[in-house]
Chains A and B, each alone.
Chain A
Amino acid sequence: MKVESTRRAAHGGREPLSLRLYVVGEAPNSAAAIRNLEILFPGGESSGQPVEIEIVDLLREPLRGLADGLILSPTLVRLAPPPVRRVVGNLSNHGAVLLALGIVP
């Protein structure tokens, strides 16, 4: 992984932003979070940086949430680049979300 990111840096390309969003089915906060991500990263990128988003539905994989230490939902996790960061909530506070993900608006 580390090797890969070094290679990417050497290529001059920007490392993709890897995110995972835990949602609970169609629950209001979860649905809002998905919408907010679409608004924040239209077209799957952020200022030219590719954004990869994995959506985990806790109603389908309930034990995964426990294993991943998920208490509050929805939760957005920045998996890469390190360090891992977490943002909880429906992501309606865009400024706070971007700041937490390390993206200067």
Chain B
Amino acid sequence: MKKVPDRLPTFVPGLDALTDGGLPRGRTTLIVGGPGCGKTILALQVLVEGARRAREPGIFVAFEERAREIVKDAGVFGWDLPRLQKDRLFFLDAHLDSSTVHGGAFDLAGLLAGLSAKARQLGARRIVFDGIDKLLAHLDDPAAERLELLRLQQWLYESGLSGIITAKAEQVDPTHSQRYGFLQYLADCVVLLQHRLVDTVASRHFQILKYRGAKASCNEFPMVLSDRGVEIARYAADSLDHQVSTERISSGVPDLDAMLGGGYFRGASILISGAPGTAKSTLAAEFADAACRRRENTLFVSFDEGSAQIVRNLHSVGIRLDRHLKSGRLHIHSTNARARTAEEHLLQIRSLIESHRSRCLVIDPLSALTGTVGGLEARSNLERFIALERNLNITTLATSLLEGFSEAHETATSAGVSTLVDTWIHLSYVIQGGERNRALTIVKSRGMGHSNQVRELLLTNRGPSLSDVYTAGGAVLMGTLRWEREEQERAARLQEGRAFEERQRVTEDSVADVSSRMEALRRERDEKERDLKRMRAARTGDVGTGATRVGEIGRMRRGRANPKGTGPARPPRRKP
């Protein structure tokens, strides 16, 4: 079996994972660093968490600060030290009075004898010597320093306690001074803490310089001091495996959902990049609004504007966030990007997500977290952030200011962010025909078929919508040009309609004409038929009734001779 040094879990977030289980148990760890870099807090945290979570009593020997002050200051982190002091923690005020008279050589034997007794009484497993440099300064002699350090190490070794010694480093490079050289030689594990300005923002860094008998990452990691104590920010993405979802959720813009083939994936990370004013925030707000309407708690982190300003501005494009704010569904967290380090922002966002139980997250803009420095630090920040939200299955939409679209710009301004996100939507301006119009492109979207089309993004008072664009001669038409084109088409359609109507009317007319002509002809035919009938009838009468007619004529004639004759006409007398 491989011999792995026994580990002392520190319960400091990030530290145990980084050191494969914690600091060396039963050995000595040295924490070196300049003033104010968090040595005391880190050491105290290991002690407090050990007492709280592992129920390992501990002793804190304070050479530099007053124990009373340390206990009081620790209240900030929510550590209930007075309660722990009852049975599990012991603070020794070892503040050395500078007025103490030195009357010859001295040693730590008395202190260590006392500590041995206390450790037995308490059942202590952990001990911190905070500010050993203060003690060493009293010795005034390198040989005496070494002797006492050796005594301390020997005592630690025999006591079986896991020791943490903190020492202030005066030099810029603390690893090169003689004192620390010896201290480092004595310690089994050496941790260097640094506090420096990165791009005018103070940031803390954690580095393991040495870990005897174990492989530990010697990289430098950001360290954050929050209201819960120290946290080491490591690359959380030890494994890229995380739960994936096929559930689609709306982007808040139906047209965009259609382009994405149904919306974003739940738990995905979405980046909306674009030049200033390309409505990145509006799209982000639509996403937030849709999430709230689905009754999902949503956290909106803004590094640009205050809550009231956001609500007002979005109201003008028809997005009403005030009601979600009122219901508590939406939480807007406005903060100044410069006020903290990216690490601290991430930590704060994480605790907000926890307390608000958010399922969707909007970061506007992301640059506050990637930093303006770019490079490795920014990328690791983001990797950790994305890993975080993936693990929690939180859908995150972030905006990013991106002027151009070139490779150089991408690497410089978004720190290669685009390779980390699942869906990347780019908004740009297209200048054409004296106009500036917004164009939307889906650059990539993992795991889904998506439209390759460039669309024009229209902002109406009913929210954003996407319009089909016209491609003419290889160019995409937008704005007025698109409108003109649409008008042309509309006119053409209108004209076509009119022509049809005309043709229809003409045909109808001719039908009517034919009908009327048919009617006339029918009448004419009827007339002729009647004539024909009459003619036929007349001819039949001549043949059958001729005598009558003659007689009639005769009567008529007689009538003329005898006009008064009323009786039947007497046949005419025939001449003898």
Contacts and interface: CB of A to CB of B under 8 A. Distances in A.
Contacts, number: 112
Contacts of B108: 71-73
Contact of B105 (A29, A85, A97): A29
B110 A70 contact: yes
Nearest to B111: A71
A93 B108 CA distance: 19
Contacts of A63: 114, 117-118, 121
Contact of B110 (A75, A85, A90, A92): A75
A32 interface: yes
Contacts of A72: 96, 100, 106-108, 110-111, 138
A55 interface: no
Interface residues of A, number: 37
Nearest to B102: A89
B571 interface: no
Interface residues of B, number: 27
A14 B71 CA distance: 45
B250 to A, nearest CB: 66
Interface string A27-40: 10110110010000
B104 interface: yes
B237 interface: no
Interface string A58-100: 1100111110011111111000000001111111110011011
Interface in B55-103: 63, 92-94, 96-97, 100-103
A17 interface: no
B51 to A, nearest CB: 19
Nearest to A24: B109
A74 B110 contact: yes
Given A85-B101, A86-B100, A29 B114 contact: no
A51 B13 CA distance: 58
B418 interface: no
Nearest to A98: B103
25 contacts: A24-B110, A29-B106, A36-B104, A58-B110, A62-B116, A63-B121, A66-B92, A66-B114, A66-B115, A69-B93, A70-B111, A70-B114, A71-B108, A72-B110, A72-B138, A73-B106, A73-B110, A75-B106, A88-B103, A89-B106, A92-B103, A93-B102, A96-B103, A97-B104, A100-B103
Interface of A: 22-24, 27, 29-30, 32-33, 36, 58-59, 62-66, 69-76, 85-93, 96-97, 99-100
- Ranked nearest first, the 10 interchain pairs of A and B with the lowest CB-CB distance are A73-B110, A89-B104, A62-B117, A92-B104, A90-B104, A100-B101, A24-B109, A66-B114, A87-B103, A89-B103
